[in-house]
């Protein structure tokens, strides 16, 4: 029977579906695998179902030149932790789980837009600290969201799903920066990144991570943003130069931020946790049971198709 390693505990229904088809091993730790574990996984299993943090780099592949493993069926749409070229060079197919994550991640994007504009985290902290002295007309005044300008950087599935919510639900005007022109369901104008930064009241990032997009959002972008603007990142931490973001927040170059992802997760700089004008979530983009089940079933289906010799639906 085909041996498959699942590198983290997953929802039970997903494991049941996988057990019905494969000789399954589930790693119990919730932490990413280290190099030794990854090399063993490549050598001992026919397929691996890895996820965020399992860094299948060139160095890992280099020590297992002829892996037994023929497929890495990633749990998640983002696969910047896997060196796809290195995998391909050893005949290892890589798949991901697009689509399953779109709405949930867009919801978190919209939540961070609202939370950072309306200072909700700051308000909750004040209340929990027992420091709320009651309503008054000039307390915690934030940025009104309805009708404002939303700039979306990376206008793929998630970027467009955020735009739909923002436009249809909150009457926001939409513009985007993306390497190709897109036909979206809602009216949206394509702009160069710095023009978008200067135009938008809220700038949200929905790009893939990786070498191509690393630090694409840095000091220049923050300098172009208006002082009242908010910055939101639901994509990958390394797209943003975190030090430049901290400087921009500290100096008042931008008014606030809402972040779901960080450059060196799970490490979050103290400079960020100490600032009132930021909302910080622990990478919650897809954290809902039915979404994680859908992602898991998609990854298992990718494995099943691969080992049955069928066309593999989500090869990257
Ligand atoms: P997608 O549909 O592939 O969209 C990515 C968009 O970025 C595409 O429109 C693409 O343009 C654009 N793009 C890629 N590289 C670019 C570059 N160098 N310059 C300009 N634009 C570029 O992906 P998605 O499903 O929306 O997911 C986006 C990312 O969100 C994922 O890769 C993942 O890392 C992240 N994510 C985070 C969470 C979370 O938990 N916070 C959850 C899910 C996903 P083209 O159309 O021209 O290729």
Unique residue bearing structure tokens 């172009």: 224
Residue 115 Cα to chain centre, angstroms: 18
236 is annotated as an active-site residue:
yes
For 3-100+288-308, CATH number?
3.40.50.720
Q: Among 21, 77, 80, which residue's Cα sits nearest to residue 54?
A: 80
Q: With beta carbons less than 8 A apart as the criterion, state whether 80 and 106 touch.
A: no
Coil, strand or helix at 232: strand
Handedness of CA 174, 179, 185, 191 (dihedral sign): positive
Unique residue bearing structure tokens 């027992």: 130
Query: Which atom of ligand 1 approaches the CA of 154 most closely?
Result: 7
Residue 105: half-sphere exposure toward Cβ, Cα within 13 Å: 29
pLDDT at 65: 86
Strands 71-73 and 173-177: unpaired
| Cα 275 from Cα 98, distance rounded (Å) | 34
Would you tell me how many other CB atoms lie within 10 Å of the CB of residue 31?
A: 11
pLDDT one digit per residue (tens) for the chain, 316 residues: 999 999 999 999 999 999 999 999 999 999 999 999 999 999 999 999 999 999 999 999 999 989 999 999 999 999 999 999 999 999 999 999 999 999 999 999 999 999 999 999 999 999 999 999 999 999 999 999 999 999 999 999 999 999 999 999 999 999 999 999 999 999 999 999 999 999 999 999 999 999 999 999 999 999 999 999 999 999 999 999 999 999 999 999 999 999 999 999 999 999 999 999 999 999 999 999 999 999 999 999 999 999 999 999 999 9
For ligand 1, atom 36: residue with the closest CA: 235
For ligand 1, atom 40: residue with the closest CA: 285
Q: Among 181, 234, 184, 177, which residue's Cα sits nearest to residue 209?
A: 234
Q: What is the residue-wise DSSP string for 117-157? A: HTTHHHHHHHHHTT------TTTT-----TT-EEEEES-SH
For 102-132+140-280, CATH number?
3.40.50.720
283 is annotated as an active-site residue:
yes
Query: Which atom of ligand 1 approaches the CA of 180 most closely?
Result: 47
pLDDT at 245: 99
Residue 221 Cα to chain centre, angstroms: 20
Residue of 207, 261, 288 to mutate, ligand 1, most atoms within 8 A of C-beta: 207
81 is annotated as an active-site residue:
no
**Residue range(s) in the chain whose domain bears CATH number 3.40.50.720:** 3-100+288-308, 102-132+140-280
């Amino acid at each position: 029977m085909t041996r498959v390693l699942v590198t983290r505990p997953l929802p039970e229904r997903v494991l049941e579906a996988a057990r019905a088809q494969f000789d399954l091993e589930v790693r119990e730790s919730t932490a990413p695998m280290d190099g030794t574990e990854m090399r063993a996984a490549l050598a001992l299993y026919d397929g691996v179902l890895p996820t965020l943090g399992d860094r299948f780099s060139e160095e890992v592949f280099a020590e297992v030149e002829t892996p037994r493993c023929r497929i890495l069926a990633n749990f998640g749409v983002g696969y910047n932790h896997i060196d796809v070229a290195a995998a391909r060079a050893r005949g290892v197919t890589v798949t991901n789980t697009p689509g399953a994550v779109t709405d949930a991640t867009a919801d978190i994007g919209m939540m961070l837009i609202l939370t950072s504009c309306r200072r909700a985290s700051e308000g909750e902290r004040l209340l929990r600290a027992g420091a709320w002295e009651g309503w008054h007309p000039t307390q915690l005044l934030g940025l009104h969201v309805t009708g404002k300008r939303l700039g979306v950087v990376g206008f793929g599935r998630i970027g467009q799903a955020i735009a739909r919510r923002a436009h249809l639900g909150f009457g926001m005007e939409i513009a985007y920066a993306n390497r190709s022109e897109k036909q979206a369901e809602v009216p949206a104008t394509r702009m160069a990144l710095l023009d978008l930064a200067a135009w938008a009241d809220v700038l949200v990032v929905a790009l893939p991570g990786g070498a191509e997009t690393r630090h694409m959002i840095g000091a220049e972008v923050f300098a172009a943003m208006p002082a009242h603007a908010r910055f939101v990142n639901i994509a990958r931490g390394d797209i943003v130069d975190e030090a430049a973001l901290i400087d921009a927040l500290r100096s008042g170059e931008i008014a606030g931020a809402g972040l779901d992802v960080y450059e060196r997760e799970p490490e979050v700089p103290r400079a960020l946790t100490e600032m009132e004008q930021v909302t910080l979530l622990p990478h919650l983009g897809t954290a809902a049971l039915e979404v994680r089940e859908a992602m898991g079933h998609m990854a298992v289906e990718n494995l099943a198709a691969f080992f049955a010799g069928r066309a593999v639906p989500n090869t990257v």
